[in-house]
Amino acid sequence: MTLKDFTDEWQNNEPTVLVHTSGSTGKPKPLRVEKLRMEASARITCAFLGLKRGDTALLCMPLDYIAGKMMVVRSLVCGLRLTAIEPSGHPLRGLKEAPVFAAMVPLQVYNSMQVAEERALLRQIKHLIIGGGAVSSELAAELKHFPNAVWSTYGMTETLSHIALRRLSGEDATDWYEPFEGVKVSLDEAGCLVIDAPAVCAKTLVTNDIAEIATDGCHFRIRGRRDNVICSGGIKLQIEEIEAHLQPFVNSQFMITKRPDARLGETVVLLAAPKDIETLRTACKEHLTKYEMPRMFIAVDELPYTETGKPARAEAFRIAQQ
């Protein structure tokens, strides 16, 4: 979808627009969302960040998904000056000046950190929000020293992008998400996050994200997705937590998944490039518990990701079963 396609759709007489879910757990699904709620979401984000009319904003994500659409809506509703570029892994390449506001996925931020000119621009962005996937502990450690505001977002297509942010940079860096005003969170019986955000979502939303709520009853942090739990020999393991435990000790890209096992029920599987398998095997032995240790290491030419940069968990699971 082009910027003109979306602005034409936004300006027509229909009360909704078509978006697609990210497809991180399967095939992307179409969803119609209300324009009035998208406008409300835009105002909430801009107010939280203190963005002003005339501030520059960068659109560097696909317009087929909610994150890209919401950058346009924020610009239209709040008077931001939008620069739109072709989505790529290096969104700052070729830019002469950093925008005041930008939204990126972790892979775009990571790639930009590897190029001196792009890293310099990244550090100059006044408000950088990162969504569409988990921010690794290694990346978070580097972003902590950025001079301006860097945030990790929490949300989904159904909540019209994010409903909470957590600070990654500066002394206020934290693992805990702060919900926007008017958003209430709780846990269901399975420990999954329940979101009540009437301004952006008509119904209370029960997520698949296993969470912990702080003693203030407001702030929360995410352990991982309920469907990313590995039940191995009676022990419940969280895929995202295994990845987080291993990530600080390796420079290689990898992905944890699972496969059925006749004796244990399910076992841990690690996917990585052929050249990295042995290094990762050694790191796993040194830094993971015996329960977290992968029973199988699978070499793949390319790790599976969605178009928005999230791990394609369903595809990883399919690879592990072959």
| Among 123, 153, 182, residue at a domain's last position | 182
173 and 253 share one domain: no
Tracing tokens 């398998």 back to the chain, one arrives at 277
* Same domain, yes or no: 237 and 165: no
Boundary of a domain, candidates 146, 166, 182:
182
For the chain, count helices (H), then strands (E): 9, 18
What pLDDT is recorded for position 29?
A: 81
Query: Which residue segment(s) compose the domain that 293 sits in?
Result: 233-321
For residues 110 and 249, membership in a common domain is answered with no
On whether residue 303 sits in a domain, the answer given is yes
What distance, in Å, lies between the first and last C-alpha atoms of the chain? 35
Question: Is 228 part of any domain?
Answer: no
| CB contact set of 254 (below 8 Å; sequence gap of 6+) | 243, 246, 270, 271, 272, 276, 280, 303
Amino acid at 233: G
Distance of CA 312 to the CA centre of its chain: 12
Q: Is residue 150 located within the same domain as residue 29?
A: yes
Q: Which two tokens stand for residue 50?
A: 């203190």
Cα dihedral angle (306, 294, 228, 162), rounded to 10 degrees? -50
Helix (H/G/I), strand (E/B), else coil: 168: coil
15 occurs within a structural domain:
yes
Domain count for the chain, please give it. 2
Which helix (H) or strand (E) is 229 found in, with range? strand 229-232
One pLDDT digit (tens) per residue for the chain, 322 residues: 899 999 999 999 999 999 887 665 556 788 899 999 999 999 999 999 999 999 999 999 999 889 999 999 999 999 999 999 999 999 999 999 999 999 998 889 999 999 999 999 999 999 999 998 778 888 899 999 999 999 999 999 899 989 999 999 999 999 999 999 999 999 999 999 999 999 999 899 999 999 999 999 999 999 888 889 999 988 989 999 999 999 999 999 999 999 998 888 999 999 999 999 999 999 999 999 999 999 999 999 999 988 777 889 999 999 999 8
Instruction: Specify if 260 maps to a domain.
Output: yes
3-class secondary structure, 258 = strand
Residue 196 lies in a domain: no
| 266 and 131 in a common domain | no
**pLDDT score recorded for residue 28:** 73
pTM of the predicted model as reported, rounded to 2 decimal places: 0.80
User: Which burial class, exposed, middle or buried, applies to 95 when counting CB atoms under 10 A from its CB (0-12, 13-18, 19+)?
Assistant: middle
Q: Are residues 237 and 177 both part of a single domain?
A: no
User: Which residues are paired to 210 by β-bridges?
Assistant: 192, 224
Classify residue 91: in a domain, yes or no. yes
Q: Which residues pair with 222 in a beta bridge?
A: 211
What are the distances in angstroms from CA 248 to CA 91, 287, 305? 25, 10, 21
- End-of-domain residue from the set 182, 203, 221: 182
Whether 245 maps to a domain, the answer reads yes
Residue 225: predicted pLDDT: 87
What's the CATH code of the domain at 273? 3.30.300.30
Residue 121 domain flag: yes
Residues 166, 31 share a domain: yes
Do 7 and 96 sit in the same domain of this protein?
A: yes
Q: Are residues 153 and 242 in the same domain?
A: no
Same domain? For 155 and 38 the reply is yes
Judge if 154 and 262 occupy the same domain.
Answer: no
Q: What is the pLDDT of residue 239?
A: 95
If asked whether residues 131 and 264 sit together in one domain, one would say no
Which CATH number fits the domain that encloses residue 112?
Answer: 3.40.50.12780
Whether residue 193 contacts residue 219, with contact meaning beta carbons closer than 8 Å, is answered with no
